[in-house]
Amino acid sequence: MKTLTDELLGIKAVKFAVGDLVKTKASRDAYGMPWLGVVTTVTVLKSDSGETRNLYTVDWVDKEATKILWYDWFDEDLDLVQSGADC
């Protein structure tokens, strides 16, 4: 229940860690496949109103993705492929 309680209070636990392999939810390459990348930094952003968001910097595996996609992503933008701890 800790996760539900945190969500109700507006406290968001970090969803991804440095080293995690992630894929994009909405962005796709020319073949319709999601972009793959490795999380390089995790930053917790807090607004003046008290809202907390997790910001992830991702190093994309495909060189084309590094030219097209931005580096900063949020929880709702990414899916976990493999935890960095499992590599």
In the chain, which residue ranges form alpha helices assigned H by DSSP?
A: 2-9, 63-68
- Contact between 43 and 28 (Cβ < 8 Å): no
Q: What is the pTM of this model?
A: 0.78
Which tens digits make up the pLDDT trace of 30-73? 889 999 999 999 999 888 888 888 999 999 998 888 788 887 89
pLDDT of residue 1: 40
Neighbouring residues of 36: CB distance < 8 A, sequence distance ≥ 6: 21, 22, 23, 60, 61, 62, 81
Residue 85 has pLDDT above 90, yes or no: no
